[in-house]
Amino acid sequence: MTFTRASVGLAAGAGPEAVAGSVLPLAFGGRSAVTIPVGGVVLSDAVGLAVEPADRLLVSVYAPGPSGPVTYHRHAREVNFAARGEHTRDESGAAYTTVTEHWRYLTGVQVFSPVPRGAVVVLGDSLTDGITATPGAGHRWTDFLAARLEGRPVLNLGISGNRLLRDSPPGRAFNGASGLSRLHSDVLRQEGAEVLIVQLGINDILREPRQLDAERITAGLDQLAREARAGGLRVVGATLMPFEGHYAWSPELEAVRLAVNEWLRSGEVFDGLVDLDAALRDPVRPSRLLPVFDSGDGLHPTDAGYEAMAGAVDVGVLEAGVPAPA
């Protein structure tokens, strides 16, 4: 894939308009054009653009030819814009008339930060992806967590449909490789990462072929924790949230979820725990989400539910030093 122009700037609002004077051209090894091989990743040269926490960025790329299949984030929950022709240096945004909720091409932005604490990385599924959050509002639970942490970077590595133990089937490649694989491909390569929160496991239970052996899920979480810790990260687990009301729920699957949560609460593997189950369950019927937190499908939260997920994090658990590898 060849891009002949690329730029970055500060968004003036929720649309494609840029703050006047903020749009800067991007270079790759000093050149404006770059060709990315299939499956490859390219990092641009650094630019001097001052940003504040929660600032919106406009990253624009121009391809002179057809792209073919492209890398994209299926449920970005952020509005993105496309234009015909080369408009990477535009500030008005008038040419960007096509709207989509997919992120294409871009996989990350690195920022030099004065914050001395390292980034918190959240590896998760649709609950972290924020599939039912209000688009464009910044209401994924990682957004609420970032606000609580007052500038400390929070990296959202959620992929809807992601599982801990199994890669996605060929027909649903957008669900991603297994969490165990993504630890090495997605997490450990993140610059400045210090803490990993693992929010995975529910799709292993409810998606076909279903994993009905809780010990296999806990063994996978144990392996992920050990490998992440060996990579220099502090590792925090998260309990599996209720999902009665979802079409896949059954008493048998509920028993698996409860068994995994019992193991998680034993405190034998992770350096800390976020008890999402306790924070969002209905005390009258603990196998269900509290109605105010249920988006309607029994599994995914409302915006209020995502805020409650972030509120369940004990910030002190994230502040402790990284333990030595076992």
Among candidates 114, 18, 8, 122, which has minimal Cα distance to 59? 8
Q: 5 — alpha (psi -120 to 50), left (phi > 0) or beta?
A: beta
CA dist 23 to 16, 57, 83, 113, 156, Å? 12, 10, 16, 20, 25
**pLDDT for 321:** 60
Q: How many CB atoms lie within 10 A of CB 123?
A: 26
Q: How many whole angstroms separate alpha carbon 211 and alpha carbon 256?
A: 9
Q: How many CB atoms lie within 10 A of CB 208?
A: 6
Residues with Cβ within 8 Å of 121's Cβ and at least 6 positions away in sequence, in order, are: 155, 157, 187, 190, 193, 195, 196, 197, 233
Q: CB-hemisphere CA count at 13 Å for 82?
A: 10
Q: How many whole angstroms separate alpha carbon 233 and alpha carbon 322?
A: 6
**pLDDT for 320:** 63
Residues 181-206 have pLDDT tens digits of 999 999 999 989 999 999 999 999 99
Among candidates 122, 137, 233, which has minimal Cα distance to 179? 122
Residues lower than pLDDT 70 in the chain: 320-326
Q: How many CB atoms lie within 10 A of CB 12?
A: 17
CA 107 remoteness from chain centre: 11
